[in-house]
Amino acid sequence: MIPRRDTIQFVLNDQLVTLAFDAGNELKPTTTVLNYLRSLPFHKGVKEGCAEGDCGACTVVVAENYHGKLMYKTIDSCLVFLPMIHGKQLITVENLADAGTLHPVQQEMINHNGSQCGYCTPGVVMSLFGLYKNHYKPGREIIEDALTGNLCRCTGYQPIIKAAEHACSCVDTDKFRLHEASIVEMLKSINRKKTAIEIQTSTRNYFKPLTLPDALAFRSRYPSATIVGGATDTALRQTKKGELLQEILDISGIEELKYFVEDEQVYKIGSGISLEELKRHAAGKLPALYRMLQKFGSLQIRNQATLGGNIGSASPIGDTLPLLIACKAGVRLQSADSGRVIRIGDFIKGYRLTGLHADELITAVHIPKPDSSTTISAYKVSRRKHMDISTVSGGFSLQLEKNYVVEIILAFGGMAEQPKRAAETEAFLRGKPWTRATVDQAMDILAGEFTPWSDARAGAAYRNLAARNLLLKFYTETSSPAL
């Protein structure tokens, strides 16, 4: 029997909150943080614009204890279920001012006329607050990345960027810094117990283990439960489709799944690592992965989404999947009794279908270190550079010897019911010179290898053309100028 409790605790602004999901409470375990805040008096700054993590009007900041210091992260509250903020501090726009004195990010928004209609302003301010807490004198690229997930149709962003530059040029001495020690102690007191949370109502069951053994025990006991890491994909089933999520296994609080380590041959990455943290680790070590994650959604999404979640969704347009196939990544699957590692290409079985057994969880991803003769690249074609789901994506790997192709992997997303390798094109290219003439022939083969669909993002003909051009782009970036 797993020891359990049926309440969650977190700090809302400066106050400890304990929530129970009993029959007399209108809140459900799948109530989003956005809807919870909107139900409270004096917490109406957070807005619902899209309910799918695209507009940023619902942006809030969560703070977590990290070795005695608070780590601040912006998130889209429309995609976060209440139990996911257990053991964290939730900060809203209403709490930024200090005894009537506006926070620097608020004051600079006024100074630079960063608000017009005002609907998006609270979300923008919270993104600037997250920037303020994490960066001193950030460059333009960092500022723009912090604001990518916030849509503003009035100001043109330049006043907001100016506000960010000025606010973040100040040394951080705000009230949050002054009260940091007391908040850390409050969070420590909540997180001291690793007792699993089990919430059962008449319509929903929500399980939140805080250790890996408990998670595997829940998985064995409730094999049909929907597994969520960051819920940035799963939450849409509720917010956009109105689906009743009856049983959820939330593994977002398991620290054992949040790591990045390496040995001489392999990078080993915990499935629960956020994509933003993975991006930081990938810089300088996995350059193709780093560049791909720079264009993966917004900072709010990357702070919440996990690598294991992106893999487990098995979406045909999941951004990490083609690249992981090109990297020959392995997926570690674990049950309470055993574990195994299989190639990611074998793990994805079809449209949102994987080889995960009913008692298993994805616990890690293993990426072999490529040798110096191998080039790996990732590409994404989409209408909105950062936020939009890929129309077509590619993950390519190439090993040359004296300009002849020794090995090549061409993995595409958005071209079939699952991320898929262009096997015929690869076979044609192996052993041939890496020249424009060869690649032109390969592009013709590639055009007949897939039968993509047409939808709101693009037609089948466009997808075929985009896939051909991604191969050509890869060639131009890897070929000798003389060829």
pLDDT at 481: 62
- Render pLDDT for 335-367 as a digit per residue (tens, 0 to 9): 999 999 999 999 999 999 999 999 999 999 999
- Render pLDDT for 36-52 as a digit per residue (tens, 0 to 9): 999 999 999 999 999 99
pLDDT at 457: 85
- Tell me what the pLDDT averaged over the chain comes to: 94
3 state SS of 68: coil
With bands split at pLDDT 50, 70 and 90, how would you rate the model's confidence at 386? low
- Render pLDDT for 56-88 as a digit per residue (tens, 0 to 9): 999 999 999 999 999 999 999 999 999 999 999
Q: What is the mean pLDDT of residues 291-308?
A: 94
Q: What domains can you pick out in the chain, each with its CATH number?
A: 4-94+178-250 (3.10.20.30), 99-173 (1.10.150.120), 258-478 (3.30.390.50)
pLDDT at 6 over 80: yes
Q: Which of 49-53, 129-133, 255-259 has the lowest mean pLDDT?
A: 49-53
pLDDT at 180: 97
- Render pLDDT for 403-449 as a digit per residue (tens, 0 to 9): 999 999 999 999 999 999 999 999 999 999 999 999 999 999 999 99
pLDDT at 483 over 60: no
373 DSSP 8-state letter: T
pLDDT at 134 over 90: yes
pLDDT at 8 over 60: yes
- Render pLDDT for 160-189 as a digit per residue (tens, 0 to 9): 999 999 999 999 999 999 999 999 999 999
Q: What is the mean pLDDT of residues 208-214?
A: 97
pLDDT at 482 over 70: no
The pTM for the full model equals 0.94
pLDDT at 384: 75
CB 161 within 8 A of CB 144: yes
Would you mind telling me the total number of residues written for the chain in this entry? 483
